[in-house]
């Protein structure tokens, strides 16, 4: 039983036929191609320019923020999400009451969301 021909076999055969056809028809072209591949070829080909190295990236560590430690607080925000008031984390009920009062007074939808502020040492 004959061995099954793979795609690689077909590619190799095609390449072999192409090189045979080149050597039969153009022996001068082969020497010209060799000259073009040589470093001192007809145009002395230049190597492609290397890309400039990028700046080193800063690593992110726990203290990379530069702001120091932060604490969580409740913030009351207006409809455009500008902070109107801050309350300690344990005073959520006061923050809700403030948001409700402002909503009734101005007619806008004030919301209470967690916020972070720098801790004072």
Which 3-state string (H, E, C) describes the chain?
CCCCCCHHHHHHHHHHHHHHHHHHHCHHHHHHHHHHHCCCCCCCCCCCCCCCCCCCCCCCCCCCCCCCCEEEEEEEECCCCCEEEEECCCCHHHHHHHHHHHHHHHCCCCEEEEEEEECCC
pLDDT attached to residue 40: 59
Residue 71, Cα to own-chain centre: how many angstroms?
Answer: 31
pLDDT attached to residue 63: 53
- Parse the chain into domains and list their residue ranges: 9-37, 70-118
pLDDT attached to residue 108: 87
Low-confidence ranges of the chain (pLDDT < 50): none
Dist. CA 77–CA 7, nearest whole Å: 67
pTM of the predicted model, to two decimals? 0.45
């Amino acid at each position: 039983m004959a061995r099954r021909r793979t795609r690689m076999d077909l590619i190799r055969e095609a390449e072999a036929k192409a090189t045979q056809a080149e050597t039969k028809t153009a022996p001068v072209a082969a020497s010209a191609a060799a000259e073009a591949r040589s470093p001192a070829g007809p145009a002395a080909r230049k190597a492609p320019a290397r890309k400039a190295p990028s700046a080193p990236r800063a690593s992110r560590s726990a203290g990379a923020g530069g702001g120091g430690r932060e604490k969580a607080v409740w913030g009351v925000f207006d409809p455009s999400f500008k902070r109107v008031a801050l309350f300690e984390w344990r005073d959520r009920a006061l923050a809700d009451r403030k948001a409700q009062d402002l909503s009734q007074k101005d007619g806008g939808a004030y919301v209470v969301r967690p916020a972070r502020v720098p801790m004072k040492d």
